[in-house]
Structure 1
Amino acid sequence: MKLAAEPQSNHLDSYQKKVVASTTAGFGLENMDIMFLSFALSSIIAQLGLTGTQAGMISTITNIGMLIGGIFFGILADRVGRIKTFTYTIFIFAVATGAMYFANNLTTVYICRFLAGIGGGGEYGIGMTVLAESFSKSKLGRISSWVGMAGQMGAIVATVLAALIIPTLGWHALFLFGVIPVFIIFFIRRHLKESDSFIKSSNEKNGSIKELFETPKIAYQTVALMIMAIVQIAGYFGLMNWLPTIMQKQLNLTVSSSTWMIATILGMCAGMFTFGMILDKLGPRLAFGIFLVFSAIGVYVLTLPTNMASLIVVGAVVGYFSNGMFAGYGAVVSHLYPTEIRATANNVIMNTGRCIGGFSSLVIGWILDNHNVMTVMIFISTLYIISLIAMLSISNLRQKNYRQF
């Protein structure tokens, strides 16, 4: 496999273009599938007569599936190969999403979403690992940002499809579009191959979770990165699920959630693009430091809008900082851990974040029931400060050209 050209070159060779095409398509369509549930949830609740607790468990079960799938497929990718395992994960989440077409009871919904979570949870770390082993460190931040932006584009596609399909054909039909990623498998199997670094490490002890905690220093690094991932996901869910409703209620605005979401997603895409360049140029400490500080401040800015237009602008700005960092985690983790446990590290760290951080919506709901909006702002801001402290304490990030153990 060809590795990156000289770090200063912006040219991608033919193989790298195929890697980018495969991973961006995979992440974009995966995020599209995941967002289908958000748009279909109210229809599912109405048709199946679900309680709030039963409906909330759908997302919880999905997150649990992501953690389990992330661990299992991360280990598998480090042991038997990234490319084969990558296609397995795509197949599982695509078929499980499409199977929601046949879900006419709560048990079937739970099973389908659990399986979709297993596949989706496994894909992230493997895709980021394939990128890391196809590009030089000096390019990976920018390349990773493209993948993150593709995920947000998938969310916009889901928004459009939901608006067109659910009112006319119903929520079941929407999930049939979830099988589209299956077609990516044929391209990946034909055009991608294992990296030289993976082949050379095949005689090592690959795919061991124990290696993530082998020494106190490595264990601390792993836990600190998990904390950062938890905050990242918690901030995202808090922003997307609750803040539009909070702002509309507090300011008596009529902005629709779809308008807010699209504006925020576009802000996130711009943030990812910028973050990737800063990461490559200035290193992880400055890149994460800048975005975490402005994220901590940004939640308070959400109290400033006085009309619909200003709320949309502020939402885009907050989205720029709060989720601009997302793609950077895969780039950083991929260079902090050696080849033999790279996919395992990516999947365990990020899916721990998904599983635990996903509960932020419940926490924010409880805060609103018992306190006030400012308490929510303080809670979210404090999370970003905790993430900043965790990031600054990781010794291997204290230089621009951070190293792996």
Structure 2
Amino acid sequence: MTGEATDDAGTIAARIERLPLSRWHVRVRLLIGLVTFFDGFDQLLIAYALPAIRAQYTLDTADVTLTITAGSVGMLVGAALSGWLADRAGRVRTLTWCLLLYALTSVLAAAAPDVGWVQGARFLQGIGIGGEVLVAAAYVNEIVGAGRRGRFVLVYELAFVFGLAAASLVSAWVVPAFGWRVLFLVGALPVVLAFVLPRQVPESPRWLAARGRTAEAAGIVDELERRARAQFGTLPEVTPVAVAPARRPRLADLFTGRYLRRTLVVSVLWFVAFLVNYGLTSWLPTLYATVYRLPLDTALRYSVVTMAAGLIGCVVLALTVDRVGRRPAMAVCLLGGALVLGVAAWVSPGTGLGVMLFVSAASVFVFAVNLGLNLYGPELYPTRSRALGASVGGIFARLGVIAGPLLTGALVGTGSAGGGGIAPVFTALAVASGVAGLVLVLFGVETARRPLETLSP
């Protein structure tokens, strides 16, 4: 079948569903993965730069909390705006705008003359960071068929986790040797991708078809089929996919019919997963250095171990999510994280090493949930409002990003390990993770191996 102007959204979707994974898919995943890698890298830089910034500007606990949360508030704004933009202006265009914003404002952070400048730059950078990861997830979900979607998307999403891990590795070397400003200059490197992305990555055919631009969508799918035939030979027959009539995206659609329950469930999951993740990781380098009196290089190395542990959990989820299913896999992660954190609260480790071991064990589960939601969230909504739905989830994620560090700062105390301690933090995060796990088990929808159009008409 070749594309014609008469192709409708159902035909476009059916043609995408029958495509095997080709070299084109791998190349596009790699390019968008690079953008998302640096998104993850830039997102966590402040956690590793903060001990040095704190020492330079003599920050108190309130200053530290504001410096952490400034970027998180920006991510909240980015999450709120990006879905609306992506469903109207296009996935690739919005991705490019987000990339330029988070890369260029990293230069502003590096040039900061005072901590207020750092906070302002991080707010602006957060807008780009918070928008990019959600729109990219929607795009990657839309270019692959149902049978391979889970592993394909999550292997792409590993780029974000590798970015987080790279931030810890690079920081452990750069900050002690060259200072925190150079770290932010490294974070500006992806600006070159803004010139590559629009030329090498086509717009999502599903989005084009949902907007009534079926001739453009068919032209892109024609090219994908040509590439697939050159690589694999004969393609499978097209299996018809029913698609609801095209209409403009509306925020109200996310809170009516089947989508109301989905939005409520995924909002709880986004909030809790990011609250637990950032409640654990955002303060760690500072806690190691101030509460447990560890040298800065040791604190940063401990953070590397935690990131590596989280990466292991993400890889396991990516390799099993199509076979096991989204709901069982993420429920195990949430409940497993709750169990580890509950044990940590009971043991109440009094050394930095003990804290690192428990946090690393919890990160195996917690990081995997954060990764899985970037697959699961976009699957729950129709193409016309997929980015908008992911944006609503992203808003709750960013609220979790804000609430996690605030909760940790309030519970851990500002003195020694005995001045509040970290056990109350573990207790609160264990309860939150357990509640989210139960919500997913009781009310979640399984999305594995189902075409997007039939799953979310």
Q: Do the two structures share a fold, i.e. TM-score over 0.5?
A: yes
How far the C-alpha of 1:104 sits from its partner, in A, is 0.6
Task: Look up the SS of the partner of 2:135 in the other structure.
Answer: helix
Percent identity over the alignment is 22
Task: Look up the SS of the partner of 2:273 in the other structure.
Answer: helix
How far the C-alpha of 1:358 sits from its partner, in A, is 2.8
Aligned partners of 1:398 and 1:14: how far apart in 2?
Answer: 26
Task: Look up the SS of the partner of 1:358 in the other structure.
Answer: helix
Contact 1:225/1:349 (CA < 8 Å) preserved in 2?
Answer: yes
**Counterpart among 120, 140, 143 of residue 134 in structure 1:** 143
Task: Look up the SS of the partner of 1:323 in the other structure.
Answer: helix
Contact 1:101/1:173 (CA < 8 Å) preserved in 2?
Answer: yes
Contact 1:271/1:321 (CA < 8 Å) preserved in 2?
Answer: yes
Contact 2:103/2:191 (CA < 8 Å) preserved in 1?
Answer: yes
Partner of residue 220, structure 1: 261
Contact 1:121/1:347 (CA < 8 Å) preserved in 2?
Answer: no
Contact 2:75/2:130 (CA < 8 Å) preserved in 1?
Answer: yes
Aligned partners of 1:244 and 1:163: how far apart in 2?
Answer: 11
Deviates more, 1:232-241 or 1:358-367: 358-367
**Counterpart among 262, 270, 274 of residue 229 in structure 1:** 270
Aligned partners of 2:427 and 2:176: how far apart in 1?
Answer: 39
What is the 5 A alignment of 1:1-400? Answer: 3=16, 12-203=21-212, 204-215=246-257, 217-241=258-282, 256-302=298-344, 303=347, 314-369=358-413, 373-394=422-443, 396-397=445-446
1:362-387 CA deviation, whole Å, 9 max, x = no partner?
22332334866544333111111211
The number of residues matched between the two structures is: 400
Are 1:403 and 2:403 matched, yes or no?
A: no
1:140-173 CA deviation, whole Å, 9 max, x = no partner?
2222322332222223322333334334443222
How far the C-alpha of 1:305 sits from its partner, in A, is 7.7
1:239-277 CA deviation, whole Å, 9 max, x = no partner?
224578889999999993323322221221121121123
Aligned partners of 1:47 and 1:252: how far apart in 2?
Answer: 17
Deviates more, 1:49-58 or 1:219-228: 49-58
Deviates more, 1:351-360 or 1:260-269: 351-360
Structure 1 runs (4+) greater than 6 angstroms displaced: 243-255, 304-311
Structure 1: which 5+ runs fail to align? none
Amino acid at match of 2:374: G
Name the Cα RMSD after superposition.
3.1
Aligned partners of 1:212 and 1:288: how far apart in 2?
Answer: 22
Alpha-carbon distance change, 67 to 91 in structure 1, aligned in 2, over 3 angstroms: same
Task: Look up the SS of the partner of 1:363 in the other structure.
Answer: helix
Aligned partners of 2:149 and 2:389: how far apart in 1?
Answer: 17
Aligned partners of 2:288 and 2:205: how far apart in 1?
Answer: 51
Deviates more, 1:305-314 or 1:35-44: 305-314
Aligned partners of 2:384 and 2:312: how far apart in 1?
Answer: 33
How far the C-alpha of 1:400 sits from its partner, in A, is 7.1
Alpha-carbon distance change, 157 to 249 in structure 1, aligned in 2, over 3 angstroms: closer
Aligned partners of 1:307 and 1:68: how far apart in 2?
Answer: 37
How far the C-alpha of 1:124 sits from its partner, in A, is 1.1
Alpha-carbon distance change, 162 to 277 in structure 1, aligned in 2, over 3 angstroms: closer
Task: Look up the SS of the partner of 1:61 in the other structure.
Answer: helix
How far the C-alpha of 1:82 sits from its partner, in A, is 0.5
Structure 2: which 5+ runs fail to align? 1-11, 213-245, 414-418
Alpha-carbon distance change, 287 to 256 in structure 1, aligned in 2, over 3 angstroms: same
Aligned partners of 1:122 and 1:245: how far apart in 2?
Answer: 27
Aligned partners of 1:65 and 1:230: how far apart in 2?
Answer: 16
Amino acid at match of 1:359: A
Deviates more, 1:344-353 or 1:117-126: 344-353
Deviates more, 1:116-125 or 1:316-325: 316-325
How far the C-alpha of 1:94 sits from its partner, in A, is 0.4
How far the C-alpha of 1:220 sits from its partner, in A, is 3.0
In the superposition, the TM-score normalised over structure 2's length comes to 0.78
Aligned partners of 1:5 and 1:29: how far apart in 2?
Answer: 32
Contact 2:348/2:422 (CA < 8 Å) preserved in 1?
Answer: no
1:343-374 CA deviation, whole Å, 9 max, x = no partner?
11112212321223432222233233486654
Aligned partners of 1:383 and 1:400: how far apart in 2?
Answer: 29
Amino acid at match of 1:319: S
Aligned partners of 2:131 and 2:409: how far apart in 1?
Answer: 29
Amino acid at match of 1:3: I
Alpha-carbon distance change, 62 to 5 in structure 1, aligned in 2, over 3 angstroms: same
How far the C-alpha of 1:336 sits from its partner, in A, is 1.0
Contact 2:99/2:190 (CA < 8 Å) preserved in 1?
Answer: yes
How far the C-alpha of 1:15 sits from its partner, in A, is 1.9
Amino acid at match of 1:278: T
1:275-320 CA deviation, whole Å, 9 max, x = no partner?
1233211222211221122111111344398998887665443221
Deviates more, 1:15-24 or 1:39-48: 39-48
Contact 1:224/1:390 (CA < 8 Å) preserved in 2?
Answer: yes
The structure with more radius of gyration:
2
Deviates more, 1:67-76 or 1:374-383: 374-383
